[in-house]
Each structure stands twice: as C-alpha cells, then as structure tokens.
Structure 1
Amino acid sequence: MSLSSISPATIDRLESEFGILHLLYHRNRNQHRVAVWWLSLDMLHRNVRKILSNLREIETTKKILQKERLFRKAVLIARQMIRKKLFKRASYDFNSIIALGQFVTLGMVLVANTSVIYKLVVEISEADGGDKKLSQSKTVERVIDPDDLGEEIEVAPVALQPLPPASKDLLDIFSEKKSKIKYHSRNEKPNKVVKDSGEKKKKKDKKEKKDKKEKKKRSAMDDIFG
C-alpha cells in the first residue's frame, strides 16, 4: 500500500479536472449558490480537494507511516464518494441544468467534468487492491464526512397508558374549591376585597336615618305653610 500504486498521470489528470471544477465553482458561487444543484457541486469540489491534498502531502513528508496514513485517507474518501452515490446525484442535478435550458453550457461542462473525475476517483479507490485488503488492516482510520446524516431508524410507536380514574376524595375537594371561586367583572380588580355583610348593614342604617330626617323636615315645612 503506497503511492506507487497510483500512477502520476492519474494524479495530474485529476488535478487538471479539479482546476476546471474549481474555476466553475468560484465563477458561479454568487449567482447559483442558492440553487438546489449547488449542494452536489459543493460536495464534489470539497471531496476531490481533500483527495488531492492528501496525495500531494505524501510527496513532502519523509515519514513512511505518515505517507501510508495519508494514502489511506485519500483512498477512503474516494470510496465514500462512490459508496454514497455522490457522482450519481451530481450527474442527475447537473443534467437538470441542461433540461431547464437557461444555463445549458454550464450544465454540459459540469456533466463532462464530473464523468472524468468519476473515472479517476474509481481508479484511486481501487489502488490498494480493493475493500477487503483495506478492511483487514488494523491501522485503518475512519474518515468522518461532515455531510453524513446517518441512517434512518424506525422507532416503534409507544402505547399510551390510560390515566387512573380520579378518586372520590379528589373530586370532592375540587368541587369544594370550585364553589368558593368568585368571578369578577371585566372592570373589577381581581384583588379587590369583598366587604362583609356587617359593613353593608351599617351603611343601610345610615341611609335610612338620613331619609327619616329629611322626611321630618319636609313635614314641618308643610305644617307651617300648609
């Protein structure tokens, strides 16, 4: 397992195709970044850049273990791209650009570029002899893809248990509290203290006395002028 299993021509061709992809990415970012197909272009651009970064770093490092680790990373990223059907999704999205008829040239260039990159990535993914040999290695490192959303898990519905019937004591307490609740009008303050019946009685007596006095005054005047 070494870089020698990947031909230099493959790496050079991948860099050349990535240069075209990188140019399309930056030229159309501001205009098409909200489009549905832009997500496929973004994922394709990001993963191919990771592969090339790992392969080119092998040439600068001198440690053998570091070279093998970088090579495994590049191969694993290439396999993930194929396993997750990234190229199939990108091809479908880019063909939809052509079908719309508004940016036909852009769609055709993206489709052609994606097909060439797919062929080169497949060659890199098979550089170490297949998945079986790589899975048997004890030093294989897992590459976490930030776009991996996981697998959908089916959750069995939970049966809701019926609530126990309320006891007679609780119902009696609730009814007793409900009977004590006093409802106020809209203009009445909720915290207003209701005056007791004794105070109301005193007011009533005062009013009656006042009415009697006024009645006596009126009768005296009637006697004088009557």
Structure 2
Amino acid sequence: MEVTAPEISKEDLERLRHLSDLLHLFYHRNHNQHRRSTWWRAFSIFRKQLRTMLGHLNSLQQNPTSHIERTKKKIRDQQTRLTLEQVLVFWRDVLVPKWQHAFSQVAADGRFAVLGLVLLASLADVCRIAGVTAAFDDLGQIEVEKVLERFAEEGWDGRGEVMARSLEAGGEDVGDVITRGASGGAPKAVAIIDEDDPVAVEKAERPAESTAQTSTMKRSRNRGGTEPKAKKKRKKGDAIDDLFGGL
C-alpha cells in the first residue's frame, strides 16, 4: 500500500518548520553528552529526514511569477511528489518503527525521560502532518479485515455470541424444604434422601434400628436387678499391724 504525498496547509508547514528548529536546538544542546548513546543515531537520522522532507514541501509551496517558471515547476512538482511518496513509504515500513522504539527506550530511562517524551511527541506530530499515522490506521484496518475473513472461512462466526442455557422439561430439582422442630437446642443436620433409591433408604434406616435396640437393652438391664456392690478394700497397715493382725 502506497502513501500519497499529503496536501500540507500553511499552518502545518509552519508547524514542521518549528519542529525542525526545535530538533536542531535539541541536537546542539545534547550532542556532547549523548552522542555515543544508542538512540542518538536514530535521532540524527530523524532530524536529517525531517529537514529533507521540509525542503521538498517548501519547493511545492513556491509560486513562480513567469509562465516559463510555472511550466518548469509543474514538471519538478511531479518528480517531487513521487520522491515524497517513496520517502513516506520508507518512513512507514522501516524508519518510523525504529525511531519509535529508540525514543521509547529513552523515555523508559528515568534519568532522561523528558528527552524521550519530547522526541516521541515530535515524532507523533510529524507523522500526523505527513500522513504516516493515517497510513498506519489503514494498514491496521486491512489486517483486521483479513483476520475476520479468515475466521469466517474457518467457521468462527457464532463462537463469540452468548447463548442462553435451556432447562429441561421437568425443571431444575432444588430439593425439599426442611422445617425446624419446635423443641429447643441446636439444629441437627438432616440428610435429604431420594425415596426412589432403595439403597439410600436402607442405609438411612439402619442407624435408627440400631439406636432403638441399644436403648431397649439398657432398659432391660436396669429392670433386671441392681448391680452387685463392690467390696471394700482393706486398709493397708504397717509391719506392727501385720504382726498382731492374726491374733
């Protein structure tokens, strides 16, 4: 996808000139300190590319007075617009991602975060005026459409919709309501038993039967008689008591 040469207004052209002057001052202010940094090379290329593009735009804004000059300018403008389109395509595909990555690294560094933010803001403003940002938006839209078409071919159309769950004809079984008895005391846990399951009913009846048998045996023991009293143990004495104990 090619990038067409933008129609720059006088305000935008003046804005580009201001950014070019700002980057020129930025270059001379930080050259001695950051010239050996990894991001400085990307910044130098950005400054030179902006100055070159600004020269092409200035030539397009010129208005010759004579007829011969206007004829020559039309021929030059065609070549200038073609050159601008090629430059902007190269910006979009190669240079702008590298500049954005390099300036982001500067902004991520706490010591020089302000410098990185200035460079990122300048890059964003230049790309907006030059039409590179709109080209990125168009490319993103094309990629989204390609993904949607691929999903449609693979049968992913209805996968993302929220589907309501349908209940069975008999409805959902929520169990039986258990009421508390009138007697006081802490409530006991009551197990809910399915009456249609004979095994569960049989297991539930066994503890009740064993409890009834145990209570019956206890009552029969109490009625049968009293338990024999335990014999009193003889108090142990000393050696003299043992000697006279047999008399």
- TM (norm. structure 1) is 0.48
Larger Rg: 2
